[in-house]
Amino acid sequence: MNDLTNKVILITGASKGIGAAIAKRLGRAGAYVIAHYGSDLAGAEEATAEIPEDRKKLISAELGEKREVDRLWREAQSWRGQIDVFVNNAAVMRTKDIFNSDDEWDQVWDEALSVNVLAPARLMRSAVRHYEKTGGGILITLSSWAAQRGSGSPDLIAYSASKAAVMAATKTIARHYSKGPRCRSNPDVRRLCSLVRRRRGRHRRTGNEGMGAS
């Protein structure tokens, strides 16, 4: 991975899975890491254990709440005064038998749309506004193979639809803002080592699953 000294990077869902792995790798590369977590403080602490205290900040926020989403961005930005890279990773995936229960159907859909679509979109808007003021930045969204072809399980209908939606939202931002020098956006990411690599123009890559909203 490239040297990321002095780069400030916000990662959502950094307490487990891909998000935790990203936090570890970025920390080893010298970045200032802002690790978001929902309720799994222990997981976030473990993921950032190797990072010196002055190069990491852990922020808990419930992504299903708009005020919490806005607070997450404010606290993240105020820590070092800027954010160079936003890694849009957090997501929820429920595997309940939702086709046989109206209540569970509504619950799973509401949560998937709130956490996997509305919260990331709100954070991406904040990132774009910030990058316009600072002269540019990197926006990365981790999607899922299920967004490309649908899931093999009907119980993952909400998850698949939500990951397709956030992927489309990210690509829409990329198509507009990556045309100029003020904002560079990567719609998808395939390899961890490409997470913070600046390139010119738009990128088209296959997404990975981003699990770790807790």
- Given 32, 37, 159, 177, the catalytic residue: 159
| Block residue for tokens 């002269």 | 135
Active site residue 131: no
Task: List the catalytic residues.
Answer: 159
